[in-house]
Chain A
C-alpha cells in the first residue's frame, strides 16, 4: 500500500491564483480530512469527508473547497489564494473517523502565496 499520497510537495502561488491540492489513499478508508499546520500552532481542520459524496466544514474552511467523488480521492481547492493561506497542508485518512481509529497522514504540501 502507498498509504496517503499528496501532490505537489511544494507550490508557490501569486495572490488571486487558484489551484488544487491532490490527496489519495489506497486503504479503502471512509474518513478523509484536510489540515493546515502553521508555526507555533496545532493542526487545524479545514474540511472533512465521512464517505464518497459527503463533505463538511471543519474549523477553518473559508477560502477552500473540497469534493469527494470517489473513496480514494479528496482534493482541496484554493479558490483565490491569499498570503494568509501560506502554510503546510496535510491530508489524513482513517477507517471510520469515529472512536479510536488510527489516522494516517500524508507527507504534506508546503504552499507559499506571494
Chain B
C-alpha cells in the first residue's frame, strides 16, 4: 500500500513568488492535514480537509491556502512568499477526521526561500 506522497520533495523560490505543494493521501484516506515545521516555531498545524471542505485552520495568514479534490488529493498554496516561509511542509492523511486510525505522514516538501 503506497504511503502519503508529497511533491515536490525540494523547492527553491524567491521572495514574492507563490508556490503550490501537492499531497496524495493513502488510498482510501479522505482526511488530509498540513503542517509547517521550522527550527524556530517547531511543528504547527496549518489546515485540515475532509470531503473537499476545510474543517480546521491553524493560526496562519491568508497567504496560506489549500484545497482538496474529489479524489482526496490536496494542494496547499502560499502566495507572496516571505523568507520566514522557508520550512518543511508535512502532509498527513487518515481515514476520517475523527477516525480511530492514526495519521500517516509523508516525507514532506522542503521549501527554501531566497
Our verdict on whether A and B bind, yes or no, reads no
Interface residues of B (CB under 8 A from A): none
